[in-house]
Amino acid sequence: MNEFKDDLRLLNSLQIVRKHIFNGACHLLDNANYYQLKEDICEYFDVEFNDVLVVGSGKLGFSIKPQRRYGAFNDESDIDIAVVSTELFQKIWKEAYLYQRSGAYWPKSADFFKYLSEGWIRPDKLPSSKYFSFTEDWWNFFNKLTISERYGPYKIRGGLYQSWFFLQEYQKICVEQCLTEVKT
């Protein structure tokens, strides 16, 4: 955490995201377990290995979210996964569009499309319906990882990003808040 805080005085938000979030070891998992977690995810979703990464407090060892700023990763924390895949993103976007056009019940559709416009898909905003199988597939996969406790007794949750640009921009939000706090 000290290096991160020092870098707030030396680097811009993009550089901090690249150095501390997109680069380096995962705080929570040793290299063998980090490799295996990424391998499990990329094989299941048929995405590139390097397009899967742990983000958040599992990556850094502490949170940069405003509600828990600099709080250590703990037993209440989740392992947050970012999956970056234009192909998978577009597939789910198309399915979501067709689902909405069908007029099917989807109470979280407005929230879903808000996040979609920001370049990512939050699975908790997807339709929960037997007619939209991706939602169940996604949750079943991540719940199985969680239940296995192979990566510790933590919930494992994922988000799907259209591109590295959108993941980067989302990560910069909290980093920029940290930078603002340092300057005030």
Counting the structural domains of the chain, the total is 1
Kindly report the average pLDDT of the chain as a whole number: 96
The confidence band for 130, taking pLDDT boundaries of 50, 70 and 90, is confident
pLDDT over 90 at 182, yes or no: no
- Is residue 81 within 8 A of residue 167, CB to CB? The reply is no
pLDDT over 80 at 184, yes or no: no
The confidence band for 79, taking pLDDT boundaries of 50, 70 and 90, is very high
Residue 54 to residue 75: CA distance in whole angstroms: 17
Specify the pLDDT at position 183: 79
Specify the pLDDT at position 168: 98
Q: Whole domain around residue 24: which residue ranges?
A: 1-183
Backbone angles phi, psi at 68, to 5 degrees: -130, 25
Residues whose CB falls within 8 Å of the CB of residue 166, separated by 6 or more in sequence, listed in order: 118, 119, 120
Q: Could you tell me what percent of the chain has a pLDDT over 70?
A: 100
Dig out the tokens for 36 from the structure: 């295996």
Specify the pLDDT at position 159: 97
Dig out the tokens for 141 from the structure: 């996969």
- Is residue 54 within 8 A of residue 20, CB to CB? The reply is no
Specify the pLDDT at position 115: 97
SS3 (DSSP) at 38: helix
Mean pLDDT of 120-144: 94
Specify the pLDDT at position 131: 87
pLDDT digits (tens, 9 = 90+) for 14-68: 999 999 999 999 999 999 999 999 999 999 999 999 999 999 999 999 999 999 9
Mean pLDDT of 68-75: 95
Looking at the DSSP bridge assignments, the partners of residue 78 are: 155
pLDDT over 80 at 167, yes or no: yes
Q: Could you tell me what percent of the chain has a pLDDT over 90?
A: 96
